Every structure is written in structure tokens, then in C-alpha cells.
Amino acid sequence: MITFLPLVAGIIVAGMGENKKLARGMAFGSSLISLVLALVLWKSFDVSNGELNQFREHVEWIKSLGVNYYVAVDGLGLLMVLLTAIITPMAMLASWRVEKGTSLFFALVLFLQAGLFGTFTALNFFHWFIFWELSLIPAFFLVRLWGGPQRAPAATQFFIYTMVGSVAMLLAFLGIFLATKTATSPGVFDFDKLAELGRNGGLKNAVAGDFAWKLFGFSFTAKGMCLLLFGGVLLGFAVKVPLMPFHTWLPATYAEAPSGVTMLLTGVMSKMGVYGFIRIVLPIFALQLNEPIVLNVLLSLAVVTIVFSACAAFAQRDLKRILAYSSINHLGYCLLAIFAVARSTGADAALATEKAAALNGVFLQMFNHGLTAATLFWFVSLIEQRTGGLRGLNDFGGLRKVAPVFCGLMGIALFSSLGLPGLNGFVGEFLIFKGVFPLAMCSASLSVIGLLVTAIFILTILQRVFNGPLNEKWLKFPDLTLGERALLAMPIALMFVLGLWPRLLLDVINPTVVRMVEQLKF
């Protein structure tokens, strides 16, 4: 229900033509029903069970190809379903004033939501990949048709980058399918079975057969073939997060996309890549990820992603581009923790505890960054609506004097992004660094530079936009209306709740984290 409701609703909304009011109402109503269903899942979830088997549905689909309709969630999947259900209605509210092709716009948003729900629940590669691509197509058209002046090149760059990553991942999984195929059974597509093969060395044994030396006419050892397959999957997710140097599509896409679409891109779609690293790369390719050369390169790239994206954000003058690079920076912490957790530590119980802390931090960071970043882009959207599209860092000044509520609430969201204790952004980053320092001290130490630069560029926004002399041009800059205050108060309140009571999420996700860490002992 939660996966296909947005798809059905999107088809209905797309057929409403010029009835804009009804299209908006139908789409928003569908998103609220999805939110209710996600909350029902959350309430029904067994927090004592960290296994990937809750709300399980497994039906044979194409038996000869090993394709099953297989869905279930653990703490990670449930968390991402809830995040999607929260961000989608927020994005719709931010896009309420879309007048051109309203029905199609909101239908595409619903199709995107369906793709996200499917991605976070599917456990068989075949239909997981369908949902993965389903999220890409509506996102491309939302940017291409409703974006800013440079929307065409931005949308094209977004599509090409993500499609190249998807093709590389598809080829890698086809290779895995062929390698695991036997005379009596089809190849393996189910993620849990592949994870078991990855942990016990079965994947390496599978590719040691005839398939390994026939690829492209070149000869590969089993180890080399596994690394090649790992590289294809890694590329698909590295582009999506993104991991530098595969990031160049993101700033232009976020800047040119309508703000509501940017909220979905940064709030949820960017988490698809991190989710893939945790759900697929970490369990299936743990041995390949733990190769010293591979691990050191990835840790170095994670540090580069954190530090250079923060420096790039500081160099920008467009608020959207600042927040775009900030998004890369925040997700870089997630990648740093994932790569550090992949490092083999044997049976050391103390380091296993630190791995659990780091992974708990990643889960929290994914959710908290999605909430905070989406809220910040909503504020930027409101600034654009009030100023005729202006969003430059130097276009304003002193807005706090004429719009104190607006600046106060946006300031809270900015401090959450900065990681101020008491707000939701602090807890995830704290747990990440607590766990990563004992596992990869050098990488963690260098990454702290990113925290410092983040503080500098966020305080710069506060100083340039909200404080200082009031630009006479904005003497009549309107403060938030009562309706806007009510809507924005909800995500702001959630930032405080999760900052002061992180156990609201930790109690649900920690059993899943403990299970993952236990399975990574090698």
C-alpha cells in the first residue's frame, strides 16, 4: 500500500488537466495518507528485532531468473520510509504556487515518492532497480520543465551522471547474477542471500568459475573480478550521494531545480546513495571494501568530500549553491563513518561498540540532514517569493529588523545544520566522530576541518542576510504569515525534539545497527 499508493494517485492527478486546485489537493492528500501509513509502520515495528524481516512479503515472480517480489524493512528501511513520508508533503507545500502544468508537476512528485518508497523497501535487485530508476525519471523532468534559467544543462548533467552510475551498477549485478548461476538454480538477486555470500566468501568462490576468465576476453582472478564488480556498484552509489569527484552535477541541479524539488533531491534522493552503501555495498562487498588500498582511497575521498565541499560552500554567493555544497559536506560524514566501519578489527568488543556508535550516527545524520536541509531550502523558496527570485548572499542585510520571526526560525534551522548541541544536527555528527576516531583517527582528525569551515559559512549567512544595516530596498520585506509560521513550526519543533530526545529514533535503529556490526566481524 505504501509503495503503490503514490503511483496510483499520481496517475489520477496526471489526468486532472487544468483543475489545479483539485490536483494539488489530491496529491497533498495522498502524501498525508502515506505519512499516516508510515507512522502506522513505525508504531507496529518490533524494536527488539533488528533483522531484515519485518512486514515481509516474498512472492516468486520470474522463477527462472531468480526474480522475486521481495520487500521488508529493518530499522534503516523504516527510517528512510518515514523520512520520505515527511519530506514529500513539505515539498508539495513549498511548491503550492506552481501554476504551469500543475497536474503534471504534482503527479511527477508522487511518482518520485513511489520510487523512493520502493527503493527503501525492495530487497530483490530486479524490482529494486526499477524503483531506483523510477525516481530518476520524474526528477529529471521536474528539473527540466520547471527549473531556473539554466535548467536544461543542469537536468541533462544530472541525468547523464546518474544514468552512467546506474548502468555501471546494472552491469555489475548482471555479472553477479551470471557468476552465481548454477546448473540447478538461477543466479542470485536477493540482497540478503548476496550478503551471506559476501560474508562467507561465497561470492569470491562463485566468480572463480568460467565466467571470471571469459569477461571481455580478458583473464581475471577471482579477487580481481570481485573488485571489478564492487567498482561498478560503488560508482552507482558514489554518484548518487555524491562522493567527490563525482559531485559536479549536484550544485547546478540543486540551484536550478524548483525549491520543492530541491527539497526532495537533498532531503531524500541523496540518501539513496548512502542507503545503498549500507544496505548493499557494506554487507555484500565487505571483503573487497576492506582491501587496504581500496579502503585508504575511499577514506581519503571521504575526507576530501567533507573538507572541500565545505570550502566550496564558503566560496559561493548563491544561497542555494551554498546549501547544495553543504549537503555534500554533511553526507561526507556518513561516507567517512561507513568506510571506517568497514575496516576489519577482528573480535575487539570495544571497537565493535565504536562501530555501532558510528553507524547509529550515520542513520541519525541521514534523517536529521534530510529534515534540516529540506527546511532550509523551503526558507530559501520563501525568500525568492518575497524578492522576485533574488537569493544572493549580498542581496540582503538586516532582514532581522523587519522579519524577526522569519529570521529566527531560519536561524534555528541553520544552527541545526551547523550541529549546535540541543538541535538534531548535533547528535548524528557527534556519534559519527565518537565512533570514527578510534577506527580511523587520521581521517577523522582531518575531517574536523570541515566542521570549522561549516561554522564559518553558516555564520556568514547569518551575518550577511539577517544582520548588519538594513538595505532600504527591503523595508517592506514581509514576515511569515500565520499559516507559514504554523507549517514551518512543525519541522523546527522536530529539530528540537530529536536534538533533546534522540532515543526517539535510536531505540528503533540500534537493534539493526547491532545486527549489522555483528555480521561485519571478519
Q: What is the three-state SS of 284-324?
A: HCHHHHCCHHHHHHHHHHHHHHHHHHHHHHHHCCEHHHHHH
The whole-model pTM stands at 0.93
Q: What is the DSSP letter of 220?
A: -
> Residue 207 pLDDT more than 70?
no
> Residue 224 pLDDT more than 80?
no
List, in sequence order, every beta strand (DSSP E) within 27-87: 54-62, 67-73
What was the pLDDT predicted at 448?
94
In three-state secondary structure terms, 43 is helix
Task: Look at residues 288, 262, 121 and name the one whose alpha carbon lies nearest to residue 204.
Answer: 288
What was the pLDDT predicted at 369?
95
Question: CA 376, 381, 385 angle in degrees (round to 5)?
Answer: 150
> Residue 210 pLDDT more than 70?
no
The CA–CA distances, whole Å, from 430 to 311, 355, 421 equal 21, 13, 9
Pairwise CA distance, residues 318 & 331, whole Å: 20
Burial of 60 (0-12, 13-18, 19+ CB in 10 A): exposed
Percent of residues, the chain, with pLDDT higher than 90: 71
- The conformational region for residue 60 under phi > 0 = left, psi -120 to 50 = alpha, else beta, is beta
Q: Report pLDDT digits (tens) over 318-329.
A: 999 999 999 999
> Residue 86 pLDDT more than 60?
yes
Q: Report pLDDT digits (tens) over 237-260.
A: 999 999 999 999 999 999 999 999
Task: Look at residues 218, 39, 10, 193 and name the one whose alpha carbon lies nearest to residue 115.
Answer: 10
Burial of 144 (0-12, 13-18, 19+ CB in 10 A): middle
- The conformational region for residue 318 under phi > 0 = left, psi -120 to 50 = alpha, else beta, is beta
Task: Kindly state the average pLDDT of the residues 273-282.
Answer: 93
Q: Report pLDDT digits (tens) over 145-194.
A: 998 899 999 999 999 999 999 999 999 998 888 888 876 778 888 888 88
Task: Kindly state the average pLDDT of the residues 417-425.
Answer: 93
Task: Look at residues 215, 216, 65 and name the one whose alpha carbon lies nearest to residue 129.
Answer: 65
Paired with 70 in beta bridges are 58
What was the pLDDT predicted at 208?
62
Task: Look at residues 71, 87, 77, 78 and name the one whose alpha carbon lies nearest to residue 125.
Answer: 71
Task: Kindly state the average pLDDT of the residues 291-296.
Answer: 90
Percent of residues, the chain, with pLDDT higher than 70: 95
Pairwise CA distance, residues 86 & 34, whole Å: 9
Q: Report pLDDT digits (tens) over 39-79.
A: 999 999 999 887 888 999 999 888 888 889 999 999 999 99
Q: Which three cell numbers stand for residue 100?
A: 504551469
> Residue 439 pLDDT more than 60?
yes
> Residue 220 pLDDT more than 80?
no
- The conformational region for residue 187 under phi > 0 = left, psi -120 to 50 = alpha, else beta, is beta
In three-state secondary structure terms, 479 is coil
User: Which of 83-87, 227-231, 407-411, 492-496 is predicted with the least confidence, judged by mean pLDDT?
Assistant: 227-231
Task: Kindly state the average pLDDT of the residues 463-492.
Answer: 91
Residue 219 — pLDDT band, cuts 50, 70, 90?
low
Pairwise CA distance, residues 89 & 405, whole Å: 23
Pairwise CA distance, residues 343 & 273, whole Å: 20
Task: Kindly state the average pLDDT of the residues 8-31.
Answer: 92
Task: Look at residues 223, 209, 221 and name the one whose alpha carbon lies nearest to residue 181.
Answer: 209
What was the pLDDT predicted at 378?
95
Q: What is the 3-state secondary structure (H, E, C) of 107-123?
A: HHHHHHHHHHHHHHHEC
> Residue 204 pLDDT more than 90?
no
Task: Kindly state the average pLDDT of the residues 102-114.
Answer: 95
Task: Look at residues 339, 368, 364, 118 and name the one whose alpha carbon lies nearest to residue 237.
Answer: 339
Residue type, position 389, single letter: G
